[in-house]
Amino acid sequence: MLKYLLKRIGQTILIVILVSVLTFFLVDLIPGDVVLNVAGKDDIDEAEYWKIYYELNLDKSTPERFVLWLKGVLKLDFGTSYIYHKPVWDLIKTNIPPTLYLSLLATLISVPIGVFFGIISAVNRKKKSDTIITLTANICNCLPQFWIGLLLTFLLAVKLKWLPTMGFGWPSKVGLAKHIKYIIMPLICLSLGGIAGFTRQTRSSMLEVIRQDYIRTARSKGLSKRRVNFKHMMKNGLIPILTILGGRISRMIGGSMIIENLFAIPGMGVLTRNSIMAKDLPTIQAIVMITTAFSCIAFLLTDIAYMIVDPRISLAESEE
C-alpha cells in the first residue's frame, strides 16, 4: 500500500516536471522577440533592451535558463508580471481566495444534491421521476455556463432587480447580506453543471451495482431492503463518484474562469484572462504550473481515497 502510494507520488512529480518543461518552452514558442514581448512595445532604446535581455537570462543557454526558472518556481518565485509590475506570486495570492471559496461552495452544494437525485432516479428507474431527472440533468449538462449566467442576470438582476448584476465582496467588507447577494448567481451557475454530472454518475453506477451478483446474495440472506440499499448498494455504488469529485476538485482553480469574468469576480479567472490578453508570460506560466500542480494533487487524493474505500485496490497492489 505504501509502495503504491510512493509510486503514485513519483508519477505525479514526473508529470509536474514534464508540464514545467512544456510551460517553460511556451515562452520560446511565442512568435517574435521575447524582449519586445516583455517590454510590450516595439520602440524601446538599446539600454532598456539589454537590461531586459539580461534580466531574462537570455544570454545563457536554454537548459541553464530552465534550471534557473525552475529554481525560482520551487521558491514560488515566478518572476515579475509585465503588466502589473508586481511579483506574480503576490498576484496569485490575492486572486486565489475568491476562486477557491466559490468553487468549494459550489462543490459542497452539487455533491449532496446530485447524489440525492441520482439515487432517486436509479431507485425509480424507468418511472416518471427518473425520466424527468435524467432529462433535466442531460439538458443542464449541455447549457453553456455563460448563458445560464446571462439568463439569471437578465431575470434576477435586470428584470426583478433582486440582485446586483456583478461584483464580489467578502462579508467582512460588504456585510453578509450583500455578500450573499453577490454570490447567489455565480454559485447557481457553477453548481448546475456539477449537480447534473453527479446525478448522471450516481444514477449509472447505482444501476450498475443493482445488477451485481452480490446484491442478489445480500437479498438471498433475507436482509431488509434498507440494509441491502444502504449497506451493500450505496458503498459500492458511490465509489465511482470519487472520480468525478476528483475531476471537479482538479478544476477548482481554472473551472470558474467564465463565471468570474461574467460576474467580475476578482479571482484567478480574471487574472488568467487578463494575462492572456496582454501576453503576460510569467503570469501565464505561473498559472499553468499552479493549476496543473493543483489538479495533479487532486488526482492523487482521489487515488488515495479509492484505496481507503475500496479494499480491492490496495490488495491488488500488494499481491501482484
| Interacting positions 124-143 with other proteins (CB under 8 A) | 125, 135, 138-139, 141-143
Q: Which stretch binds other proteins (CB under 8 A): 60-68, 97-105, 171-179, 222-230?
A: 222-230
Q: Which stretch binds other proteins (CB under 8 A): 73-81, 106-114, 196-204, 214-222?
A: 214-222
Q: How far is the CB of 58 from other proteins (least distance, A)?
A: 18
Q: Which of residues 180-209 bind other proteins (CB under 8 A)?
A: none
Q: How far is the CB of 204 from other proteins (least distance, A)?
A: 13
Nearer to other proteins, 54 or 146 (CB): 146
CA gap 19, 1 in Å, rounded: 27
Q: Which of residues 25-44 bind other proteins (CB under 8 A)?
A: 26, 29-30
Interface residue with other proteins among 1, 10, 62, 108 (CB under 8 A) is 10
45 binds other proteins (CB under 8 A): no
Contact string 244-283 vs other proteins (x = CB under 8 A): ------xx-xxx-xx--xx---------xx--xx-x----
8 binds other proteins (CB under 8 A): no
For cell 524582449, the residue is: 35
Q: How far is the CB of 61 from other proteins (least distance, A)?
A: 22
162 binds other proteins (CB under 8 A): no
Q: How far is the CB of 310 from other proteins (least distance, A)?
A: 6
CA gap 5, 11 in Å, rounded: 10
CA gap 79, 56 in Å, rounded: 9
176 binds other proteins (CB under 8 A): no
14 binds other proteins (CB under 8 A): yes
Contact string 64-103 vs other proteins (x = CB under 8 A): ----------------------------------------
Interface residue with other proteins among 75, 85, 173, 225 (CB under 8 A) is 225
288 binds other proteins (CB under 8 A): yes
291 binds other proteins (CB under 8 A): yes
| 3-class SS string, the chain | CHHHHHHHHHHHHHHHHHHHHHHHHHHHHCCCCHHHHHHCCCCCCHHHHHHHHHHCCCCCCHHHHHHHHHHHHHCCCCCECCCCCCEHHHHHHHHHHHHHHHHHHHHHHHHHHHHHHHHHHHHCCCCHHHHHHHHHHHHHHHCCHHHHHHHHHHHHHHHCCCCCCCCCCCHHHHCHHHHHHHHHHHHHHHHHHHHHHHHHHHHHHHHHHHCCHHHHHHHHCCCCHHHHHHHHHHHHHHCCHHHHHHHHHHCCCCCCHHHHHHHCCCCHHHHHHHHHHCCCHHHHHHHHHHHHHHHHHHHHHHHHHHHHHCHHHHHHHHHC
Q: How far is the CB of 223 from other proteins (least distance, A)?
A: 5
107 binds other proteins (CB under 8 A): no
Interior CA angle at 15 toward 14 and 19, to 5°?
Answer: 120
The contacts of residue 304 (CB under 8 Å, 6+ apart) are 5, 8
Q: How far is the CB of 41 from other proteins (least distance, A)?
A: 18
224 binds other proteins (CB under 8 A): yes
